[in-house]
Structure 1
Amino acid sequence: MRAIQITEFGGPEVLTEVELPDPVAGPGELLVEVDRAGLNYADTHQAENSYLAKMELPLVPGGEVVGRVGPRRVVALTAGGGGYAQKAVVPGATSFDVPDGVDDLTALSMVVQGATAWLLLRRSAHLEPGESVVVHAAAGGVGTLAVQLAKRWGAGRVIATASSEEKRELALELGADVAVDSTAPDMTEALRAANDGRRVDVVLDMTGGAVTDQSLAALAPFGRLAFYGMASRQQPTPVPPGTLLARSAAVAGMWLPHAFRLPGRVVHRAMTELFDLVLAGDLRAVPGGEYGLSEVRRAHEDLRARRTTGKLVLDPSR
């Protein structure tokens, strides 16, 4: 089968197209004929071995696939890679049947980005109706869905941040009340100005560095910052507990794999609700571009340069 393999860690240049033997499913696993694989910013960390879970070489990257298991159509998370290929082995426990009427791109958008946005708002930030919500990187895969979900679930004001006029216009089209330039020199002031001079209640942040620091400073009493990535590759300033006490603020981290350990099949409930919203026309995925296996280096370059919007997918047939 055709696949992308990494034999040394690094940037996009380490992604190499190869022929590999077909993988074999073990107990509790499924062998998926891959129609599309998801491309995520986390994959760029995986390639350079800076991800939360450390990788081992050789590695076929890719954390999500949609395709066929016999007559079934499924979308699934892989176990540590394997998605950038024509066939992939996935755990049955992280696989979901795709309803009729949900296309490949939308299914892939829901299994990582949609579930992440659902968990951030429902479990990490515990969004209450009427609260203000800041969505950083609002034109990205998680951001485009988080803007829609926050608005649907009763946020009083959704404040989107994005780096270009085109991306900010997209966020407004998706339901954001106001869009802020993510390159603003003082994000604290920019967020308060976007909220009519008031501090904000919830921030969804995957940037890191100064953006995280300044977003935390913009929180209202009992505000929550939900941190789920570090696209800038810069660590935020450590937050002493006394600082949180002084502001009655909370900071929550969220990594999707941990959600599968929660009781009550939380991720399955999230996927059911997300698919229902899609089928009802109340939630839509934003296409961000499709790449062939031979174009995977360009895909990673585009991700790292923040040139993309919405959901990116990989077609293993070309």
Structure 2
Amino acid sequence: MRAIQITEFGGPEVLRLAEVPAPVPGRGQVLVDVTRAGVNYADTHQAENSYLAAAELPMIPGGEVAGTVDGRRVVALTSNGGGYAEQAVADAGAVYDIPDGIDDLTALGLVVQGATAWLLLRKSTHLEPGESVVVHAAAGGVGSLAVQLARAWGAGRVIATASSEDKRKLALDLGADVALDPDVPDLKAALIEANGGRRVDVVLEMTGGDVTDRSLAALAPFGRLAFYGMASRKPPSPIQAPSLLRHSTAVAGMWLPHVFTLPGDIMRRAMTELFGLAASGALRVLPGGEYGLSEAAAAHEALRSRRTAGKLVLDPSR
């Protein structure tokens, strides 16, 4: 089958089209005939081996696929990568039937980025109605869905940040009350001003560096910051526990694979709610661009340059 194979770690240039043997599912797994593969920012870290989980070469990247299993339309989280291919293997418990009326793009946007936004707001920060929410990178895959979910779940004020005027306008169109440039000279002051002079309750942050530092400083007492990525590849300043005590604030980390360690199949609960919101029109996945499988490197280049908004997908038929 055709697949993108990585044989050395590096930037987008290491993503090369190859002919490889089709995967064979093991016990408790299924083989998915892939119609679209999702592209996530985490994939760019995996390609350079800077992701949370160490990678082994040779490697086929890609953690999510939409396709068919025995004629059923499904979206799935792949087992140990393998999504950038014509066929992929997934654990049966990480396969979700796509409801009628939901297209592949929407399903792919929900299974990682939608579920991430759901968990950040429901589990990591326990958003309560009326609270203010800051969503950084609000035009991205997770951010664009987090803005919509925060609005649907009764946030008092949704404050978005995005790197360009077009992205900030998009965040406003999705339901944000205010959209800021994160590169302002004093981000802490800008966030407080955007919240009517009050410190903020919840921050969803995936940039790292000074953005994390300034966002943490803008938290109100009992405010929560959920950290789920480091797109700048710059770590924030070390967090001191006495500082959290002094300000009555909390910092949470969130990595999606840990949802499968929780009892009660929280992931399936999240997908059911997300599919329902999408079917009703209350939640929409933004198309960020479709690339042929052979154009995977171009998709990674676009992601790393911060030119994209919404969900990027690969079409394995070309």
Q: Work out whether 1:140 is the aligned partner of 2:140.
A: yes
Instruction: Let me know the Cα RMSD of the aligned residues.
Output: 0.6
Q: Distance in 1 between matches of 2:308 and 2:184?
A: 20
Indicate the percent of aligned positions where both proteins have the same amino acid.
Answer: 73
Distance apart, 1:197 and its partner CA: 1.2
Equivalent in the alignment of 2:67? 67
2:16 aligned residue: 16
Which residue number corresponds to residue 243 of structure 2?
Answer: 243
In structure 2, the partner of 1:166 is: 166
- Once the two structures are superposed, what CA deviation does each residue of 1:238-291 show, in whole Å capped at 9, x if it has no partner? 111100000000000000000111011101000000001111111111000000
Distance across 1 between alignment mates of 2:152 and 2:72: 31
Q: Which amino acid aligns with 2:149?
A: L
CA distance in 2, matches of 1:159, 1:185: 17
Alignment-derived partner of residue 78 in structure 2:
78
Q: Which runs of 5+ in 2 are unaligned?
A: none
More moved, 214-223 vs 92-101? 92-101
Amino acid at match of 1:152: A
Distance across 2 between alignment mates of 1:190 and 1:91: 45
Task: Show the counterpart of 2:90.
Answer: 90
- Looking at structure 2, the residues matched to 133 and 49 of structure 1 have their Cα atoms a distance apart, in angstroms, of 32
The residue identity in structure 1 corresponding to 2:298 is R
The equivalent residue for 2:41 is 41
Unaligned runs of 5+ in 1: none
SS at match of 2:261: coil
Secondary structure at 1:93 match in 2: strand
How does 1:127-276 map onto structure 2 within 5 Å? 127-276=127-276
CA distance in 2, matches of 1:175, 1:246: 33
Kept after mapping to 2: 8 A contact 1:55/1:80: no
Distance (Å, rounded) in 2 between the aligned partners of 1:217 and 1:161: 16
CA drift of 1:80 comes to: 2.0
Q: 3-state SS of the aligned residue for 1:260?
A: helix
Which SS does the other structure have where 1:96 is aligned? strand
Q: Does 1:120 align with 2:120?
A: yes
In structure 1, what is the Cα distance between the partners aligned to 2:140 and 2:80?
Answer: 23
| Residue identity in the other structure for 1:26 | G
**Residue of structure 1 in register with 2:306 after alignment:** 306
Cα distance in 1 for residues equivalent to 2:92 and 2:291 = 27
Query: Which SS does the other structure have where 1:3 is aligned?
Result: strand
- Measured against aligned partners, the alpha-carbon deviations of 1:188-217 in whole angstroms (never above 9, x if no partner) come to 011011111110000000001100000000
Amino acid paired to 1:28: G
Structure 1 residue 184, shift from structure 2 partner: 1.2
Moved over 3 A (4+): none
TM-score normalised over the length of structure 2: 0.99
